[in-house]
Structure 1
Amino acid sequence: MADPGGGAAGDSDTYRRFRSLVEAADHKFARARASDARAHSRRRLFEAYAEAWRFQLERRAELVKAGLKRWEIGDVASRIGQVYFAQYQLTSDLRFLGEALVFYDAVLSRGYFQPISDPVPGRIQPLSDLGVRFKALRFYARFVLVAALLDRRELVAALLARWTALLDQSRLVFPEGNFKEWRQLLQDVSRFLKAVAGPVGSPRSLRYVPQIDFHPNSSAHLARIQTGRCLRLQEAILSSHHRNEFSELTLDTFRVGQSLEWEPNWAVQQNSEVIDYSGDSGFIDMKFSSDMADSHLPPNPKKCILHRPSVPHLIAVIAAACETLSSDGVLLLYISASGGAGSQKHDLGLVLSSCGNTRYNYLYPSDLIPFTRSPLFLIIDSDISCAFKNLHGADRGEPPVLLLSPQKSTLEAGPTAHGSVFTLFLTSPLQAFCLLVGLSDIDPEVCGNAESILAAGMAKWEVIICSSAWLNPAYARVLPDPFLRRLITRFIFCRSALGQLRGDRDEEYLPEIWPELPASVSPESSAVESVLRQIAESIGVFRRFRFSDADDQ
């Protein structure tokens, strides 16, 4: 007997089996997103989608005869991409991000979400064409995010063009549909990605590139300070409460998150290769973490990116992270938010919620004191960052390292336009420097030369700090970690650039670091000023700074 979809009864059973596998996998995915799933639960989730994917590959002819639509295949492939992306968020393992790109690229190349042809007569569609269009729009949003995180700039530009064209077409074909929010989202994403590219469009990655960021000359000096207790960055908690965001990532957390990852060799190769998945039903293998290990690099520190958390939520996450820190682990806490006075005017704190202006929305420096029983590396980007220097000397056994932003911005535009300049210096220092001096374009050769000068300068600063006759024990413990060491040397450059910029500015325009670094790397020191001078001369902005002998030139 024929079924309503136009196929035989056996074919209908095949289709129902496929739908049941997909729905079971979707149910597991929803449960995993709603809870902190354990490793074995995540593996079961991967296995559930792998079973559904293999089933449709092996029974494709039967499923198509039963009425399977191409968008249904694309929907499963897109969801598998989501699963890989979610796994990347949990583990910070870039291999999962690469696998998400594979599935998303296959969906695009094979046209799974192309406009649907006339439906099979008599078959009831699970979704209308409009519903499929919304699925396609969501697919493009997810694909753009993955491509941006992998720094695939040409692919991002192509996806934005396709996304715009699909949205324009959808508004014409489905005038009854509400596409206003999609139009706004596309505009927000375009603005976000333009800010990510910055005024320079530096070709280098935000991630830690050993060939560029590791300086062999400092190895012997680092070994000298590793005689005591050495810490490694084990986990990072990132929270930004400024706008200009994309999928719960602000510009600041987008940049900081990538700067705490290694740049694997396969990502460099992937950026130069074109992968062809245009075949109709070629097999795409699903991989789990055990199949994707990179033996050449240590694992990335885990990251927890919080989108506008409440104060109790943030404190709970910090407490959980401190509870699981190993004996040689350090927790990095990055918070970017505006400040204000609490119940007492002199009691300054970070405003972590826009819902009412009550004392429950404020995170005070004293709230973090209990967590100084564990090693902390704290970055505060706020107009009241100075309040957090009170944590220096108030610890409960583990003196934290504090990187505190200027209280006032050197630029007229607020942090929402391009992200925080302070955070940009910590993640992409040359891009921040060009933004600081108002450069919107720079020759690639000049840019490369400036990058080389800066890299050589940071290598020199590492040697100076590690060989200093007096080095605070807090630094001796964290400098061996490459991510934390790079943050400290980039802070030195940031402080120098802001401090030497011409104009009448007081200390509120300067960042602070606690404990204090050796005077040999102060902004006025010859080792630091000479690097800033060389960069300024190479780019042609020497007169924007007040060097010690600049008045005579």
Structure 2
Amino acid sequence: MTGADAEDDIPLSERKTVTDFCYLLDKSKQLFNGLRDLPQYGHKQWQSYFGRTFDVYTKLWKFQQQHRQILDNRYGLKRWQIGEVASKIGQLYYHYYLRTSETSYLNEAFSFYSAIRQRSYYYQVNKEDRPELVVKKLRYYARYIVVCLLLNKMDLVKVLVKELSEEIEDYTQRFNTEDQLEWNLVLQEVASFVEADPVVLLNDNNCVTVISYRLQEGNVPPLEQGMVVGQLVLADALIIGNSNSQVKFSELTIDMFRMLQALEREPGNLAVQTCKQGILEPNEKPAKRENPHKYLLYKPTFSQLFTFLSASFKELPANSVLLVYLSATGVFPALNSEYEVGPYDFGGVLTNSNRDIVNGEVIQKRNQSQKDMHCLHPGDLLPFTRKPLFIIVDSTNSTAYKNFTNMFGQPLVCLLSPKVYPKSIQDQSQRGSLFTLFLYSPLLAFFSVCGLNSVRRGLWESAQEFLHKVDHDIAQMITRSQTIDQAFLQFFGDEFLRLLLIRFVFCSATLRLHKVFRDSQSFPESYPELPKQDTVESSVLQKHILKMAAILDVQNLFWDHSVEAY
């Protein structure tokens, strides 16, 4: 029987099934590839395109489930092809999470990635002499690990890293590849990310316990009844990182990763059954957006950064706030500073490193004669102060952003990291900045600055309970101060911004009392300046910090008298 005769023997209905599957498969690939051409900024342009893509993948996924036997027999459908479809659905959910900041979509991405591993969809790939298929498997592992990191599934991350390491070793031994170093670097980055937390939390059985640092119900001190604060809501956040010295994975530095989580609520426990019952489309989720929308920009050029800023500014809803977080190397002005009078004359931060710049010292020398085109100066942000703007600068030249002029009368606050740290703190900089660590988890930072590398779960919980009281008192200090700038109160109505302000005050007060931090440049600053006696140098807050030190038995690290005494 000829091939044509064999094809004629295929029932028409089965032939149509294969044709329909091929159409859906081609259409899904076309739409998925089209996502790369969508602008990453803005809210409105991509929504309908994602909807169409989800719709096609929903049909494709259900179709292959309903007609699996026919597709196996007549199309020769392989398990790795099913895995590839599931992997792309996982990527869709992950990118939808990045676009919307809704952490529930991370759970959905995890559901698909987990099913791929549990059902061994990629198992047969290693038996085929096709390196490109193995690369698909390796990329799947890398994406799965990113999602697990974001969901704090550290135990699973360690298992996946071990499996990925074995897959990479098999891949490089079987094929004469040129990307072995790249994949080994991926392994190193993941391992460094897992070990980045400076404190290990142990339960009663000496097993490591992983906790989430996302915003949880009851974590934010409530506003006092009758307290008048602004009704502004944090809507957008640009998280910008440029650090060659920090742990990095998948274009996320550890500081960017921490700030990303600090601006998210803990996802609910969703019993997602997508792989069994089909895909839940985005519009089936609650319409209410609980998290600010975030853009993650790793080493952006000035042009890219300005484009994202402009798009976010343009679409910022009424009574909303734009947050800009900068974690980058400082760019300093010329040594002759007598003519420094404007927002472009105090330097700034470098968002995109040129290849001939190795560290801050080189940058400083280079900029004695000219300004770097990728340096973000305070003056570059002035146009965006026409709307409420909240800025966090973690840099060796953070204080350049003290030189703001609030030209438009809109709420404007800048939280600025220390310019220098004591040597013992500098040695840990690869694991992330201490300043950002305080904004991410003040308790983790407090343990770290006290040199405590591990702690029992019971002690952690006791310290955490006391910190809730401290947070409550700091909130009262801010709202009851008679001399505080109104900009702080205008931002205080938003839970994320309220928590950042409270943690900033706690950080400032802690470092002022810590004996190692003797240089005034080692203290955080802000614009506008906080009234010190009411906040960061409050005697009430100092007593709280000393009591926290007593709980941890590290009183000897702190001054036990007033700030003025030293």
State the shift of 1:434 in Å: 1.8
Deviation, 1:421, is: 0.8
- CA drift at 1:230: 2.2
Q: In structure 2, what is the equivalent of residue 134 of structure 1? A: 135
Distance between the aligned counterparts of 1:3 and 1:299, measured in 2?
59
Q: Distance in 1 between matches of 2:544 and 2:277?
A: 49
Would you say 1:315 and 2:306 are equivalent positions? Answer: yes
Identify the residue that residue 234 of structure 2 maps to in structure 1: 233
Q: Which of residues 273, 283, 291 is equivalent to 2:276?
A: 283
Match of 1:363 in 2: 376
Partners of 1:261 and 1:326 in 2: CA distance = 19
Instruction: Give the corresponding residue for 1:398.
Output: 410
Shift of 1:199: 4.5
Task: Give, in whole Å, the separation in 2 of the partners of 1:351 and 1:414.
Answer: 22
Q: Is the 8 A contact 2:241 2:253 kept in 1?
A: yes
Query: Distance in 2 between the 1:464 and 1:177 partners?
Result: 59
User: Does residue 217 of structure 2 align to residue 214 of structure 1?
Assistant: no
Cα deviation 1:266-300 (Å, max 9, x = unaligned): 26xx7xxxx999xxxx62421123322287xx521
Q: Does 1:337 align with 2:328?
A: yes
Q: Which moved more, 1:485-494 or 1:405-414?
A: 405-414
User: Contact 1:199/1:435 (CA < 8 Å) preserved in 2?
Assistant: no
- The answer for the alignment partner of 1:34 in structure 2 is 37
1:407 aligns with 2:407: no
Unaligned runs of 5+ residues in structure 1 are 120-127
Structure 1 residue 151 corresponds to structure 2 residue 152: yes
Equivalent residue of 1:330, what SS?
A: strand
Deviation per CA, 1:89-122, whole angstroms, max 9, x where unpaired? Answer: 0001112111111111110110001134877xxx
**Are the equivalent residues in 2 in contact too, given 1:370–1:396 (CA < 8 A)?**
no
Spell out, residue by residue over 1:154-201, the C-alpha distance to the aligned partner (whole angstroms, 9 max, x if none).
222222222222223333444667433211211111111211475557
What TM-score do the two structures reach when normalised by structure 1? 0.88
| Match of residue 73, structure 1, among 58, 61, 82 | 82
Q: Note the 1:402-441 alignment, pairs <5 A.
A: 402-410=414-422, 411-413=424-426, 417-441=430-454
Report the 3-state secondary structure (helix = DSSP H, G, I; strand = E; otherwise coil) of the residue aligned with 1:450: helix
Q: By how many angstroms is 1:510 displaced?
A: 0.6
Q: Is the 8 A contact 1:343 1:359 kept in 2?
A: no
> Please, what TM-score do these two structures have when normalized by structure 2?
0.86
Supply the AA of the counterpart residue of 2:27: A
Change (3 A) 1:67 1:4: farther
| Aligned-partner residue type, residue 219 of structure 1 | E
1:8-30 alpha-carbon deviations (Å, 9 max, x no partner)? 75667644543442232122122
Does 2:56 correspond to 1:48?
Answer: yes
2:120 counterpart residue number? 111
Contact 1:3 / 1:9 at 8 angstroms: preserved in 2?
no
CA distance, structure 2, for counterparts of residue 5 and residue 73 of structure 1: 26
Once residues 5 and 426 of structure 1 are traced to their aligned partners in structure 2, the CA distance between those partners, rounded to angstroms, is 68
CA distance in 2, matches of 1:195, 1:149: 14
Contact 1:401 1:475 in 2 (8 A): yes
Superposed CA deviations along residues 415-468 of structure 1, whole A, max 9, x for unmatched, are: 751111100100111111222122211111111111111111001111222122
The aligned counterpart of 2:205 is none
Residue of 234, 248, 252 corresponding to 1:245: 248
Which whole-Å deviations, capped at 9, do the CAs of 1:379-401 have from their partners, x for residues lacking one? 0011111111011x443322411
Aligned to 1:122: none
Q: Deviation per CA, 1:313-351, whole angstroms, max 9, x where unpaired?
A: 212211221222222101110011111235786431211
Equivalent in 58, 82, 86 of residue 91 of structure 2: 82
Of 230-239 and 241-250, more deviation after overlay is shown by 241-250
CA distance 1:249–1:345, change in 2 (3 Å):
farther
Tell me the equivalent position of 2:267.
264
**Contact in 2 for aligned 1:381/1:423 (Cα 8 Å):** yes
* Structure 1 residue 485, shift from structure 2 partner: 0.4
Residue 160 of structure 1 corresponds to 161
Quote how far apart the aligned CAs of 1:414 are.
5.4
* Alpha-carbon distance, 1:72 to partner: 0.4
The CA distance in 1 between the partners of 2:528 and 2:156, in whole Å, is 44
- How far apart, in 2, do the equivalents of 1:376 and 1:265 lie? 30
Amino acid at match of 2:140: F
- Correspondence 1:451 to 2:464: yes
Aligned residue for 2:430, secondary structure, equals: helix
3-state DSSP class of the match of 1:195? coil
Distance 1:479 1:3 in 2: 74
Corresponding residue for residue 350 of structure 1: 349
Change (3 A) 1:453 1:45: same
Deviation at 1:130, TM superposition (A): 2.4
Alpha-carbon distance in 2 for matches of 1:29, 1:340: 40
For the residue of structure 2 that corresponds to 1:293, the secondary structure is coil
Contact 1:242–1:250 at 8 Å: present in 2 too?
yes
| Counterpart amino acid of residue 26 in structure 1 | K
Q: Which residue of structure 1 aligns with residue 70 of structure 2? A: 62
Equivalent pair of 1:7/1:67 in contact (CA under 8 Å)? no
Q: 1:180 aligns to what?
A: 181
State the shift of 1:517 in Å.
Answer: 2.7
Q: In structure 1, the residue corresponding to 2:235 is in which secondary structure?
A: strand
Residue in structure 2 matched with residue 124 of structure 1 by the alignment: none
**How many pairs were matched up?**
525
